Amino acid sequence: MEMKGPAPREVAVPVSIFGSLRGELEKEAGMLPTVHALHNAGYRVGSAAAPTLSGNGEDPAGLPQGAFWSRLSDFFQKRGWGTLRHDPAHAGVGILYSSDWAEASEGTMDADASCCFSTGFLSGLLSELAGGPVAVLEIGCRTRGADACRFAFGSEQVIHDLYGRLLDGADFDGALAAL
């Protein structure tokens, strides 16, 4: 990844921004358009944030895997998103997970709520760093009762296949094993 000027300017806002944006968008547009809007906005912001990972000007995509995932976790933790961990779950699918992810509303249970902005943000960020498309699928959310927010990522085709298997009723481990 080549740096294109200075890192983007950042501002700090309360984490309640996620619930507020989602709630207001749902009132105006409905649930599905809200999910799409938050995901698309997250993707653009994640793409724009990629140069911020460079820190000292080195290409983070060229780091050894352990150092890369540590830098990515630091990036999110320093900005208040939460602690993000990586699990190489499968040859074609990785998992990012967090038990304190900011977009998941604390103390709220909602069958429809999810980390739509984060999913887009992660996809944009990872795509920019990888120099090509990286798809991200949320596979668990604390707001929906899971113990952690979990995001599967990989090529568009693999994530599409994984999603299809999940929609067909497979549990995650079974869907992953069938890839």
Digitized pLDDT (tens) for each residue of the chain, 179 residues in all: 444 556 678 888 898 899 889 999 999 999 999 999 999 999 999 999 998 887 667 788 888 999 999 999 999 999 999 999 999 988 899 999 999 999 997 666 676 668 999 999 999 999 999 999 999 999 999 988 889 999 999 999 999 999 999 999 999 999 999 98
Q: Could you tell me the CA-to-CA distances from 47 to 6, 21, 52 in Å, in that order?
A: 14, 20, 10
Please give the pLDDT value at position 47. Answer: 94
DSSP lists the bridge partners of residue 93 as 154
Phi, psi dihedral angles at 146 (to 5 degrees) = -75, 160
With contact defined as beta carbons under 8 Å apart, do 170 and 162 qualify?
no
Question: With a threshold of 0.95, does the pTM exceed it?
Answer: no
Structure tokens at 177: 């094993």
Going from the N-terminus, what domains does the chain have, and what CATH number goes with each?
17-177 (3.30.1380.20)
Give 116's Cβ-side CA count (13 Å radius): 20
Query: What is the rounded distance in angstroms from the CA atom of residue 26 to the CA atom of residue 29?
Result: 5
Please give the pLDDT value at position 1. Answer: 45
